[in-house]
């Protein structure tokens, strides 16, 4: 217990110290929300990765999909690294950084408003973010209850409140820069932690080959009659596994708290380095989480899914580890939760302040007032998420849990296609953005209240969310071709940023050999 408490005190002390240290960088909107657009590749890459992977992935998704698909669940982690990190940085990174600076937009709704010349589009995007980020924020606490109960025997409510208060302190004090630095520290803890935990769990089963052999001997006729299916390459249900890969990987392209990381990066070389760092981070952390969860059925004699749910899988696997490793796991899950929580509340508060309150509800709001309001809203958002998490944990309210499940799909489905086409295609129209917003949010909410009316494949919120993302990529260009063309002057001004000539070192970009001479 002493070891666990000492590590917790050191961890929390470091987080708060970083927040106080970064206070001088958070005096205006640009510094508080974007770190002055001067954040380097390591901090940005780790901020991206730690915002991506929370306790929901480590405890919830790893346990659930590892149980359902066996070792094939690792494909979700590989998809997160290749599609969710590498390709996201390659396709969105540079263009997002250039156009958002040119349009002077600090949030995703502000981008939509200026890119398409529509104040109503900006307001609609801010409302969608407000509605769906709050339940997503509350879901971050879900994985903590069992792990803290296992390690400390502390009441869940106390765990949630302490974590929320400490996260709020460093985000309010230091803004984006404090979040980025703490994300880097938390990311290093996550990497070391997941490697140590995998090694310990596999060692407890006689090593990797023995564990794989044991998994191949597991059978579940209710899932599949194929022998060794849980140790196979694609598992017992490759179609639904593909839905998991698409939702958890492609989703990052449309989530405001993820895309906003590209707004703040410093330079071209930082984007290239950050892309590699972020991909390796995702491969280790996400790949490691799903890989670990794939061995969950080896502990089936101690796990009762019907009674305790999938969230019991990972804690049960870890319950027999030495105290020092359990302490690392607790810090790992805290790191994953706090990093994502800080990113979400910063995105929520900045969106509501800059895109909804400023110039609409409150006129002539100066820089200091905007930062003050954002800090106040961070307190409000954290408080709401804590209340939702505690209510869900202590009551039979299921609607909150269902809404958490559709948050990712609704946000990414609504924003992915309009944002992507807005960066690349001049013919994208305002009407197409509206259709994408309405289609995804309505479909995902319908999935909550009338799930049984959906086709069998889309009754899963995960598959429904993946469907919304893919559908949006088709809806936006089709609607754009049949609706009023965008204002030519507005479009040319937005895309002029890509044509501006800049001088860079030849080590960063190959130039014309004859011109160089």
What is the per-residue pLDDT for 111? 94
Residues 359 and 420 in one domain: no
Statement to judge: residues 366 and 401 lie in one domain: no
**In the block, residue with structure tokens 């006129």:** 363
Cα gap 465→443, rounded to integer Å: 9
What pLDDT was estimated at residue 143?
A: 61
Read off the pLDDT of each residue in 344-372 and give the average, rounded to a whole number: 84
How does DSSP classify residue 507?
T
Residue for token pair 């990497």: 191
Residues 325 and 464 in one domain: no
Residue 246 pLDDT more than 50?
A: yes
pLDDT digit string, tens, across residues 459-477:
888 888 889 999 999 999 9
Total tally of structural domains belonging to the chain = 2
Question: In which residue are the tokens 């991506």 written?
Answer: 52
**Phi-psi label, residue 205: left if phi above 0, alpha if psi -120 to 50, beta otherwise:** alpha
Average pLDDT of span 172-178: 88
- How confident is the model at residue 77, as a pLDDT? 94
The answer to whether the CB of 278 falls within 8 A of the CB of 89 is yes
pLDDT value at residue 511: 53
Structure tokens at 120: 């109503």
Predicted pLDDT of residue 419: 96
Residues 497 and 441 in one domain: no
* 339 shares a domain with 469: no
Tell me the pLDDT tens digit for each residue of 39-92: 888 988 998 988 888 777 887 788 889 999 999 999 999 999 999 999 999 999
Are residues 83 and 122 part of one domain? yes
Return the minimum-mean-pLDDT range out of 176-180, 334-338, 446-450.
334-338
- Would you place residue 284 in the very low, low, confident or very high pLDDT band (cuts 50, 70, 90)? very high
What confidence score (pLDDT) does residue 517 get? 43
Domain match, 351 and 412 both = no
| One domain for residues 306 and 446 | no
**Do residues 290 and 439 share a domain?**
no
| pLDDT at position 202 over 80 | yes
Q: pLDDT at residue 112 above 90?
A: yes
Closest CA relative to residue 236, chosen from 108, 100, 69: 69
- 136 and 60 co-located in one domain: yes
Summarised one tens digit per residue, pLDDT across range 417-426 is 999 999 999 9
Most confidently modeled of 156-160, 344-348, 435-439? 435-439
Which range marks the domain in which residue 98 is found? 2-395+487-516
Confidence of residue 516 (pLDDT cuts 50, 70, 90): very low
Q: How many helices (H) and strands (E) are present in the chain, helices listed first?
A: 25, 0
Q: Which of 36-45, 128-137, 247-256, 335-344 has the highest mean pLDDT?
A: 247-256
Output the average pLDDT for the chain. 85
* Other beta carbons within 10 Å of 396: 5
pTM value > 0.85? yes
Q: What is the mean pLDDT of residues 12-35?
A: 84
Together in a domain, 268 and 416: no
Q: Which CATH number is 218's domain given?
A: 1.20.1730.10
Tokens 């302040």, residue located: 353
Cα-based distances in Å from 424 to 107, 115, 231, 490? 18, 12, 42, 14
- Same domain membership, residue 303 and residue 173: yes
Rounded distance between C-alpha atoms, residue 414 and residue 440, angstroms:
5
Query: Of all residues in the chain, what percent carry a pLDDT higher than 90?
Result: 32
């Amino acid at each position: 217990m002493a070891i666990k408490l000492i590590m917790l005190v050191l961890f929390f002390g470091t987080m708060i110290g970083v927040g106080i240290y970064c206070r001088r960088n958070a005096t205006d909107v640009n510094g508080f929300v974007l770190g002055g657009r001067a954040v380097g590749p390591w901090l940005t890459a780790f901020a991206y990765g730690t915002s991506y992977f929370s306790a929901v992935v480590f405890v919830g998704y790893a346990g659930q999909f590892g149980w359902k698909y066996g070792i094939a669940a690792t494909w979700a982690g590989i998809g997160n690294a290749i599609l969710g990190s590498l390709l996201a940085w390659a396709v969105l990174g540079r263009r997002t950084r250039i156009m958002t600076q040119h349009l002077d937009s600090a949030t995703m709704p502000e981008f939509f408003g200026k890119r398409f010349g529509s104040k109503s589009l900006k307001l609609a995007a801010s409302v969608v973010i407000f509605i769906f980020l709050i339940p997503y924020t509350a879901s971050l606490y879900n994985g903590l209850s069992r792990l803290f109960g296992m390690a400390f025997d502390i009441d869940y409510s106390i765990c949630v409140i302490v974590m929320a208060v400490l996260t709020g302190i460093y985000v309010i004090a230091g803004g984006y820069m404090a979040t980025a630095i703490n994300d880097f520290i938390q990311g290093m803890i996550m990497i070391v932690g997941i490697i140590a935990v995998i090694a310990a769990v596999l060692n407890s089963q006689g090593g990797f080959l023995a564990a794989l052999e044991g998994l191949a001997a597991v059978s579940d006729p209710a899932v599949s009659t194929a022998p060794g299916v849980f140790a196979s390459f694609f598992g017992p249900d490759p179609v639904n596994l593909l839905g998991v890969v698409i939702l958890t990987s492609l989703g990052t392209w449309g989530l405001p708290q993820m895309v906003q990381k590209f707004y703040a990066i410093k330079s071209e070389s930082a984007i290239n380095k950050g892309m590699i760092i972020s991909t390796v981070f995702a491969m280790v952390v996400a790949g490691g989480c799903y890989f670990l969860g794939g061995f969950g059925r080896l502990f089936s004699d101690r796990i009762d899914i019907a009674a305790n749910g999938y969230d019991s899988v990972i804690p049960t696997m870890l319950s027999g580890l030495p105290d020092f490793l359990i302490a690392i796991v607790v810090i790992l899950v805290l790191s994953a939760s706090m990093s994502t929580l800080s990113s979400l509340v910063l995105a929520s508060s900045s969106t509501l302040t800059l895109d909804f309150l400023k110039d609409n509800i409150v006129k002539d709001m100066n820089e200091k007032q905007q930062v003050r309001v954002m800090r106040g809203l961070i307190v409000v958002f954290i408080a709401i998420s804590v209340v939702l998490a505690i209510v869900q944990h202590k009551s039979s309210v299921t609607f909150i849990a269902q809404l958490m499940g559709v948050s990712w799909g609704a946000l990414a489905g609504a924003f992915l296609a309009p944002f992507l086409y807005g960066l690349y295609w001049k013919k994208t129209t305002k009407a197409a953005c509206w259709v994408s917003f309405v289609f995804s949010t309505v479909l995902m909410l319908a999935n909550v209240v009338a799930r049984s009316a959906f086709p069998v494949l889309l009754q899963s919120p995960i598959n429904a969310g993946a469907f919304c993302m893919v559908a949006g990529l088709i809806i936006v260009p089709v609607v754009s071709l049949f609706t009023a063309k965008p204002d030519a002057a507005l479009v040319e001004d937005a895309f002029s940023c890509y044509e501006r000539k800049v001088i860079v070192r030849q080590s960063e970009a190959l130039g014309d050999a004859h011109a160089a001479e």
